[in-house]
């Protein structure tokens, strides 16, 4: 298996960080904590930066492809909150844009695809776009990662790792088929049931695209990789196992073969929203499974049925409660996570835009003190 370069952060600085140790199953003395969507949205410095550099009209995907902006936004929560990891500021739709899909992020709506993929012929036209074209198009992402890991080296003792992330093939396919966010993903599920061969070609193409995106982040300096499946919870277990899990495994395989200097692979994390009935099928040879707020960590671990690290799962709604309720919820999550081989504290989903940054900082401190 190919080894990462000697100077890669996983070899030089982050291999013994709390986060990497926890992902690999070595429970550190202090529980590591980071937050999904910690970069942006809730931070005043993020809003000020975008107002100063972008203006309100710039598409979010365009912002993600400006290396200096992506790097600075990624670093902001590390400086403010003292979290144990940075998560690269990007969007799951970035690799689709770079692969030739006409997609934009509409404020108040979300991803909008100009020409939805509704038929087998549509699928064939899409997959004619060779995912290998990403190898050159991903340079802005690579540069953003390089700048980010250089910035992380100057914060604290320089050991804070960067997590790379990408959208799971099913989530990307759901957006491609519906053309915009959907409550029930009926269009995607219809294509899956009506034309399973076309669906398979679509998700395999999406897996190749998103896998290249994820691998590029790791090659340039990310010390772990998370595959994020926003819509997995809309599927029954049998459909997930047959029509989704194989493509997700392919996406993870793009990183799975990369190792540090000792021959240990890069930690892999799999997260799905509303996936409580799917946890037993989400261990696609990964190191950690992210759990949303609907299922306690100990129950999720029973369903997973493997000796894995768990990540999560404070309910984001708790962030607006009085501190005594937040503190009680923290203790509950830590207790539930104590049965796992290791635990990475996180929210059960992303930081809401209305979250008070001071509360997030206080949560980090509280977890570290326990």
Query: How sure is the predictor about 249, in pLDDT bands with cuts at 50, 70 and 90?
Result: very high
Asked if 87 contacts 36 with a C-beta cutoff of 8 angstroms, the reply is yes
Single out the catalytic residue among 13, 46, 84, 91: 91
Distance between CA atoms of residues 60 and 208, nearest Å: 23
User: What is the per-residue pLDDT across 136-170, written as a single tens digit (0 to 9) for each?
Assistant: 999 999 999 999 999 999 999 999 999 999 999 99
Asked if 93 contacts 114 with a C-beta cutoff of 8 angstroms, the reply is no
The answer to whether residue 41 is catalytic is: yes
Q: Which sequence spans correspond to the domains of the chain?
A: 9-369
Single out the catalytic residue among 13, 18, 37, 256: 37
Q: Count other C-beta atoms under 10 Å from residue 48's C-beta.
A: 10
In the prediction, which pLDDT does 70 show? 96
Q: Count other C-beta atoms under 10 Å from residue 14's C-beta.
A: 27
The answer to whether residue 91 is catalytic is: yes
52-61, 226-235, 300-309, range with the lowest pLDDT: 52-61
One-letter-per-residue 3-state SS of 208-259 = HHHHHHHHHHHHHCCCEEEEEECCHHHCCHHHHHHHCHHHHHHHHHHHHCCE
Tokens of 245: 């899990």
The answer to whether residue 5 is catalytic is: no
Asked if 293 contacts 332 with a C-beta cutoff of 8 angstroms, the reply is no
Distance between CA atoms of residues 210 and 92, nearest Å: 8
b (16+ CB within 10 A) / e for 318-337:
bbeeeeeebbebbeebbebb
The answer to whether residue 256 is catalytic is: no
Q: Which CATH number fits domain 9-369: 3.20.20.210, 1.10.260.30, 3.40.190.10, 3.40.50.150?
A: 3.20.20.210
The answer to whether residue 175 is catalytic is: yes
Single out the catalytic residue among 18, 21, 84, 175: 175
Asked if 105 contacts 111 with a C-beta cutoff of 8 angstroms, the reply is yes
Single out the catalytic residue among 50, 118, 265, 362: 50
For residue 195, pLDDT beyond 70: yes
Q: State the pTM of this model.
A: 0.96
In the prediction, which pLDDT does 56 show? 52
Single out the catalytic residue among 24, 41, 118, 265: 41
- What integer is the mean pLDDT of 306-313? 95
User: What is the per-residue pLDDT across 336-353, written as a single tens digit (0 to 9) for each?
Assistant: 999 999 999 999 999 999
Q: What is the CA radius of gyration of the chain?
A: 19
């Amino acid at each position: 298996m190919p080894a990462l370069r000697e100077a890669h952060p996983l070899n030089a600085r982050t291999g013994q960080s709390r986060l990497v140790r926890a992902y690999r199953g070595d429970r550190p003395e202090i529980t590591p904590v980071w937050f999904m969507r910690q970069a942006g949205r809730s931070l005043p410095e993020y809003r000020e930066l975008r107002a100063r550099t972008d203006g309100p009209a710039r598409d979010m995907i365009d912002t993600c492809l400006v290396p200096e902006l992506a790097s600075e936004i990624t670093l902001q929560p590390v400086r403010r909150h003292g979290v144990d990891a940075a998560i690269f500021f990007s969007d799951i739709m970035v690799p689709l844009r770079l692969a030739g899909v006409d997609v934009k992020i509409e404020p108040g709506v979300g991803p909008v695809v100009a020409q939805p993929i509704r038929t087998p012929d549509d699928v064939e036209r899409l997959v004619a776009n060779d995912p290998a074209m990403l190898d050159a198009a991903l340079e802005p992402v690579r540069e953003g990662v390089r700048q980010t890991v250089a910035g992380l080296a100057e914060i604290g003792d320089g050991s804070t790792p960067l997590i790379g992330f990408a959208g799971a093939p099913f989530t990307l396919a759901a957006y491609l088929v519906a053309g915009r966010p959907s409550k029930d993903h009926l269009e995607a599920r219809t294509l899956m049931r009506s034309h399973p061969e076309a669906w398979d070609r679509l998700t395999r193409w999406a897996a190749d695209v998103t896998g290249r995106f994820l691998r590029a982040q790791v090659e340039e300096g990310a010390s772990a990789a998370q595959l994020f499946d926003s819509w997995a919870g809309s599927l029954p277990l049998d459909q997930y196992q047959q029509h989704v899990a194989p493509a997700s495994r392919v996406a993870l395989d793009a990183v799975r073969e990369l190792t540090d200097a000792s021959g240990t692979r890069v930690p892999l994390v799999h997260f799905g929203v509303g996936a409580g009935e799917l946890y037993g099928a989400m261990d696609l040879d990964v190191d950690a499974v992210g759990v949303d707020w609907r299922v306690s960590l100990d129950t999720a671990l029973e369903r997973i049925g493997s000796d894995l690290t768990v990540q999560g799962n404070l309910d984001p709604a708790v962030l607006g409660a009085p501190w005594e309720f937040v503190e009680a919820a923290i203790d509950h999550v830590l207790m539930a996570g104590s049965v796992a081989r290791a635990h990475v504290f996180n929210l059960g989903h992303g930081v809401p835009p209305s979250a008070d940054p001071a509360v997030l900082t206080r949560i980090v401190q509280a977890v570290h003190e326990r």
